[in-house]
Structures are given as structure tokens and as C-alpha cells.
Structure 1
Amino acid sequence: MKFNKIVNCFSILLALFISSCSNEVFDEVTPPSNEGIDSELHSDDPHGEIIEFSDQSENLKFFVGESTKIDPTNTFQGAEIILSTTSDLQSIEYQIQSIDGVWSEWEPILYEGIQEGYYSVHLNIDNNKHYKNLKFKNLKDVQYAKFLFTGIPGEHMVKSKSVSGGKAPINGRWNPPAHIRAIGDNQSISFTQDSGACSGGLLNGTNILRRALRDRFPQIFLAGGYCCRAIGGNGCLSGRPTPAGTPSQHSYGRAVDLHIRTVGGQADNGAGDPVAHWLIENASAIGIQFIIWDRSTWRADRPRGSKVRNYGGPNPHVDHLHIELSRAGSRGQTPWFTGGGDTNSPVGPFPNREDFVTQLYIDIFKRIPNETDLKNWVNKLRSGNISKNGLITLLVNSQEARNVSGIPGESPENFLRRIFKLMLKRSIGEQSIPGWMNSTNRDKNKISAAIFDSIEYRNHFGKYRPFSSSTAFVKAQFKNILKREAESNNPFISQLNAGRSVRDVLFDIVNSQESINRYGTDPVIRAHRAILQRDPIGIHHIHWQRIFDEQGHTGLLNGLFNSNEYRLQFGQ
């Protein structure tokens, strides 16, 4: 069995839990004071261990179901797990072995839902004790797994080791180059922290930035968001309570965690540094007040010349960047969101309110809004009298939407069925409805927010309007696939006018060097990102890899272009 066994200081204080519910977070350490955490204290000591299973074909042999043992090098006090699996999670059980060799009773795992194809798993571990092994029953069909074992160094902690795999990481901590530091010295934002009752979800600006970063940087494979809890708290609290202790800023919708795969137990600086540097360059325009990445921190309110400091927390953030926004940034009130900054404002899901309302009408009512309705909704959105999620809820709950969908009724269950049919163009599995009701507390606005923020819905943005010409088609594909405008004299336009097929043009765009630079060299991942605007998930990745191995690029691309998902987005 080959896998990446990665030993390092784990980058999360929370010893028992990582959330992957659509509104929850993968955790961080937030500085409780204006000076932050920047000491050298134990910053290079091994405080934990990461074991990654990323080879799908090997995973299918290793996770065979009846009993799978995970044996970290070090003893541990807490365990956090991220999984991509088709297993029935309700059937999975675990037991842990104490340092004296005694195994616990089998217990069911706890999980909080799924985000972007990944589950998080919560184990009920007493983090005042040390353990040495972990065993699972009925854990199988694993496409990806990351086990994060945490603990405080002590007499039970053995010397850490790292088994390297893939390219060599850059030695040392994150160290922004001089020109980035100089740009950062000109960024100044007051450092603020919220307290009191949790926000109930990500704030609008935070969510827009989270989506935009994933679109801009495909190396971010998972972006965590909201979690109501105190720093070091045991899991995410439901509802909107006030966390006991010092609250995490994830509790107030102002922070995101950007997950990037490690290399041999170390941060992949080639992947993570560009993200951190871009955020520093645009900190004032966006409202970035704080960054933790690879054993270093950057804070916008620190004096010139000392904004970058060594991170002395127990977990060095080698597998994810923690980003905090200012209050204005988290609410989308800074120049980057309003279009007044010197960096590109986010296109977001729609370039403007008019397009947003128009697309909702197309999705929900199968028509465009009349001029009066369009102006009315745009004005209400602009003035803040209604939110985007509120408008979605109102339209999906309308009598016209019930008539179009054929799904009547006021109940949250029927609302969920209706919004799936209208906005995702498919029916929801009935077995999934109780989980949705539980995770959203039967709140229609929360259902609307989850659908609107989903990758599946974002895959559909602006893709139902017919193309009036070869120029319109090429421009749309360049924007969807290459994320830029096509030149007015683009050769693909003349090729289409001369009779070349649409499919051949799409093949060339997907396999272009520009597409490879953006989406990577893996043909299956690149094709999914370019054509369906998402990563392949779980067992489907294995299916499409087999298609590629047997039929090459032609079979892979033909299969995706002929898929129901693609036709729902683009038509025939």
C-alpha cells in the first residue's frame, strides 16, 4: 500500500473536529490580541501528524470495509478526518487504542454533511489522554482521505518523521519576497474581532471572495467557511448561540480556510504562496486583515517592515491558508466588491444585479422579467430592502414557480423539491430531504442560500441563453472555460463560420495550453473543470479515468459533452 504519510505540526488547534457542512468551516487559530501570535515558541516542534490517502486505485485495495487500521507514527490526543467516499457513513464505526494497548468499544462516527464532495468526521475522543492507533469498520470506497492527528508534545510523543512524495517543497516557512512585502507595507486595515451571538452563516463578502478565490486558484481543493464555536471548541454549534470562551471569527462569517494539498509533509509553497501574495497585494481593496500560512502570519495593521511574523501557534497551517476579512470586506462594502478598486472586481456569479434577476427569472419562471419587475427588484437589491437569498426564496415560493414546477405547497419539503427542480434542473432524492431539513432547520432562506452557493448551481450561471452567432458562442466558451474575453478577431470565429463543428472548437479550447496552465495537466480533472466547471467527485473520477485510458481525449470529451449535466447547462 502506497500513500503519503505526512508528519508535521498540524495546522488546527481544534483537536476533535473539522466541519464540511456547506455552511461550516475547517478551523484556524485566531490571535486573541492586537499583537497576534508571532513568537518563535515551539513553532518548529512536531505537534501532530497528517496521513493522506490520495491514490484512488490503492485506496480501493486498502479500505476494504471489514476493518481498516490507521497507525500514526506519534501518539495523539485528537483526530480530525476529511473523506471523499461513497460509503454509507451511518454504517461506519471506529475504535481507538490507548497507549497501554487497550481498544475502546466500537462507536459510530459523527459527521456534519458534505461540502464540495468532502465529508468531515468527528470522533468522540477525550483529548486529555494519549492514544496510539485508530481502527475503522465498514470504511470503503474511499477516493480521498486525510487523517489529522493532533497532540501536545510530551513523554508519549516519539520523534516525528516525514516520508516525502512528489515535488520537493520550498525549505523554511512562508517568506514573502521583497516586492510583496513592499506592497504589503502600503496596505493598512484596522484589525477588528466580533463577539456575541454567531452570525448563522458566511457574510456576503466573505462568501463572494471564497468563490472567487476557488475560481482564480484551482489549486484550492476545498474552501471552508462558517462554524459557530470558540477557539479550541469541540465542533460547530447549531443555531446562533454565543460561544463560550474566545470566539473564532469563523463564528461571524468573516473567515475562510483555503485547503491546499501538502508535499511530503510540508506546505506546497508553489501552490499556496501565490494565493497569499495576491491577497496581500489586494488587501486594502478587498479588506484582508489577517493571513496565516505555512508558519507565518501577515497582518495589515502592523507597522511597516514588520507585517510578516513567524507563527508560534501549535499548528503551523501547512495544509491551508486562514484568511480573515475586515468588517467592511466581509459585508462586501470595500472597493473590490463595489468596483472602485484598482484590482479586478469579482464577476461573482453575475456581473450585475440586472443579470442576477434576469437569470433567476429564466431559471425559475422560464422567461425574462418585464421592465417593471426588473427595475423593481434591482432597486430593492441595491437599497438592501431584500437580499439575493431572500429574492430567491420569494420567487421559488411564488404561485408562478409552483405552476411551472408542478410542485405545489408551502412546506419546506416541497420548497426544497421545487428549488431543486427549477434551479438545479433535477429532482432531489427523497432520502436526502430529512438531512436538508435538519441542516437548515427547515428555514427556506437557508435552503436558498445553500443552493445559490453550491458549485452545482454556479455551473449553470448564464448558460441557458441561446447563442445568436459564432462570435457569441466563442465569447461564451472563452469566458466559461478560459475565464477571459475572446479577441474580436479570434480564429475560432472564422473557423465556425467556415463550417468547422462546434465540438471540434470546444476540443481545441479544452486542450489548449492556456487551459492546461489554468486547470492542470491531469486530463480528467482539466476536462471536468473546463467543461462542467467542477472537479470530478468520488467514484465518478475513476469512471472517467477508465474512459480516458481506453478511449483517450476523444472518448473523455465526447462523454462529458454528451452528459445530461452538460446538456442541462448548454443545451444540445
Structure 2
Amino acid sequence: MTALVLTACGEQAPQPANDSLQQRHPLESEIRYVRSADEFESGVAQVKATRSFRSFGLQITADPASVFEYQVLSTDGTWSGWVPVKLDENNGRYRGGHQVLSAPATEVRIRASVPAEFLRFELFPGTEALHDDDPWSHDYGLGELGQQIARPGIWTPSAETLRIGDTMYLSYESADYCYGSLRPGTKELGDFILSHFPGTTSYGGYACRDIVGQPGVLSVHATGRALDVFVPVDGDSSCDTCADNDKGDPLAKWLLENAEYIGFSYVIWDRADWGAHRSSGSKWGSYGGSHPHHDHLHIEISSAAAAKQTGWFLDGKPWNSGADTFTGRWYLRDANSAGANNIPGFSYGGPGDIPMVGDWDGNGTSTVGVYRAGIWYLRNSNSDGYHTIPSFAYGGGTDIPLVGDWDGNGTDTVGVYKSGVWYLRNSNSAGAHTVPSFTYGGPSDIPVVGDWDGDGIDTVGVVRNGVWYLRNSNSAGSHTVPSFGYGTPGTDRFLVGDWNGDGTTTIGVAR
């Protein structure tokens, strides 16, 4: 065990010097993470609680064939025998379950038959898995306690996202009965989130229980309409203010801006919450529950969404990934297949930037860059850091940025497309276009760049209503490759690349 980390989930954020506020909630849980498969090389992972617990929950990312067993250290100092772990939430590699003990314990060990990628323990003082997710436990930061919680650093949507969110409304649906599992739409949304938001690690959500502090009032978790989507904390996991906003904020933004379409009604994330049932201007505020929700997003959806009857499900779960969804976080993979990024994730750029990729130094490796309102910031490494090429201006805020090897020297340089006119430059620096400007395409066409004939020089093309028009020269004229249809306009994202390494660029779509 080399990287075991811990945090006390449920401890309140720093608050006024008031003994009643600083006391621990009697139902608080504690959280422990085991993040790497390497931690199972010894065969056993072990965590210790700060106080005794009567049950614990698990969220696991592992091969579905893996078998888990646990043993616990009782308060009298004796270890139990090995007991199979019961995992009643099964979503492929993402599984979860709640283990109830016969007596209080202070430590737990777990072993796996196959190494696990991610393991999250939640240790509960009672036999039930209780979280504080009461949607009415909401504080807008008006009182003394609220002022302390609503300090800089909580999840704060942009003004534009809040504006869009204010146009959304769904009535709040209280829980009625224990459904028995996640509902079909809830599970599909969870699977979609894991495949489209790389910072998320796993999800769970079903628990037949009451809201904390409200006996007899069912939690939405009991209805199968609530998800807990887990996001590892950024830095020291004992810090309940260290939510990783690079990972969690994009998901919250997407939910808010598409609430009515999806059927999304409520979220708690990083000491703040948002409810579609609230009045405009008051939907978002600081959250005053005992659990800061710094390591997961609590998400609730409507009955219609749970039954897959909202527009988003009926339209085939479309994914709008416009340029404004770029957060500056990169996840790169050295294989055209599903799986985790095998280049460590890193930050470069930020919201509003247009991400660009090219071989800026001619070493054969593509690295990152961003285009920001006419300014280029290029880096010769796929890692955190500053631009390694001096920043320069080329193009304008409304131009479409382009990258290509216009002269065949092995180095990618910049260009812009402006209403059908191309301006290409053979240097990554400020200055005039070095290739004579020319018209090819029109204002509504989508520009594409590639080496269509394998001669080592990138040339121009456009896609118009799903039809491709490619030209083997950076000059005005007609298409030199016969035009053809490929992809669906308005639905697909049109892409190009050398998919088989033969030196010729060909086409593709992402749908």
C-alpha cells in the first residue's frame, strides 16, 4: 500500500466559533480511497476509521470477473474471517454495494482476485447508508453560517450557464416508494456520463432509505431516480474544500444547460446546489448540508427521464460538444479504442479557447495548443506548463483557426478561414499570410485540411451539407478529388486523419 488516502466525508466546512456547529453530525460517514491497481500487488488493502463503524459502502472500478472479500477488526481487537463482498449495483466495470456488519469495527481489509483500478470505501456509524442529500437543506449565503460556507472556491457556474439555467423549470417530485434498483433512464444517464466526462470514475445511487433528519420521508435515492457520480478530489483528500472542478464542473454545466431536455431536476456539488424547481434568479446557491459533496455530484432526474420519456432519450441521447464546453483539461490516448487516457491528464488553456493540435517543431509528435480570440498559444509537450513557442496574433476573433503543413517541411503551421477565404502562413509567428490568399468554399461551409494525395503537403477542402469537396492545391479552383457524401449534417462532427499510416489523409465522423 503506497497511495492510500483518506477524508472525513460529512464534516462541515470551516464555520463560526460555535460549539453546536462544530460538533460532528452523529450520522456522518467517513470516506477512504484506494486509487491504483498497484495497491493490490500485496494482495490486501487496509483502511482504518477514526471511530467505529457498523457498515460500509463500496464503489469499485474493476474487471467484472474480479471477486472481492473483506474482513474487519472488531472493537475488541480481533479480526473476522474473510467474507465475500456483496455487490448489488452492477454496471459492467462499475459496481457498488453496502456491507452490514454484525458488530462495530474499527478497520477493514479487502482483497481482490484481479487488480482494481479504483476503490472507494464509505464507513457508516449505523447499519444504513445515510447521506445528507435533502434538497431543502439549502442556504443561499444570507446568514452567518451561509457566509462562511459561500466563500470563494465553491462550485460557481458561469453567468451564461446561470442565465440558461434560469430558463429551465421542472416541478420537484418527492419520493413515493422504494423502486428496488436504479431505473432504466437513471442507469443510461449514468453510463452516458462515464463515457462522456473523463473525470468521473464511477456511479451508484439506489438506497431504500429516508432523508437524513426526516424520519418517514423517503430519499429520492429510494425511487431509483438519483445518481451519485464520483470524482476524485484534487490534492489532499482530507480537505473537504478540494473538489476537482476541472472534472466536476463540466458535468454540472451540461446538466444545467440541458435540464428540461434531459429531465434533470437537482444537483449538489462542491458545497453548492441547483434546483430546476426554484424560481429564476434563485436556482443556485451554497449548500449547507453536513456532507460537502466535494467528491461526488448528487444528481436527481424526473420520473419521465427515469422512464426514458424525455426528449434527450427519445432523440437518441445526443451530445452537444460545442467549443464553449472546452475547459482546458486534456485526456489523450495512444489507441483508437475505448479505455482510459494513457497519457497523464493535464491542463492547458481554458474555457472559451479553441483547442488545436499539431507538430509545431517537426519532431513527429503532435502536441497541444489553443486559439484565443486571434492569439495562438502553442506548446511542444503534452503536459502542464506554459506555451513553449512565443504567443502571437494571427487571425481574428470570428475567424476559424486551421493547422497544416502547407509547404511540406514536416512542421505544422497556422492558418485561418474567413467566409470562404483562406489565409495560410508557413511560420508559427505573427505576420502576413505567406501563401497567397484564395477563395475556396463559402461562409456556411465547414473547412477541412489534409494531405489528400500523400505528397506531404496539406491542402484544403470543405464539407457542405454532408458532401465533401477536396482540392490538392492551396489555390482557388474546383475540387480535384471527385465530390462525395459522407456523414449527416447537423448531427455528425466531420474529422480527418491518417488512420492507417500510409501518408494519405482520409475522412471520418464522430456521432
TM-score, normalising length: structure 1? 0.45
Higher RCO (CA < 8 A, seq sep 6+): 1
The structure with the largest strand share of the pair is 2
The structure with the largest helix share of the pair is 1
Larger Rg computed on CA atoms:
2
TM-score, normalising length: structure 2? 0.49
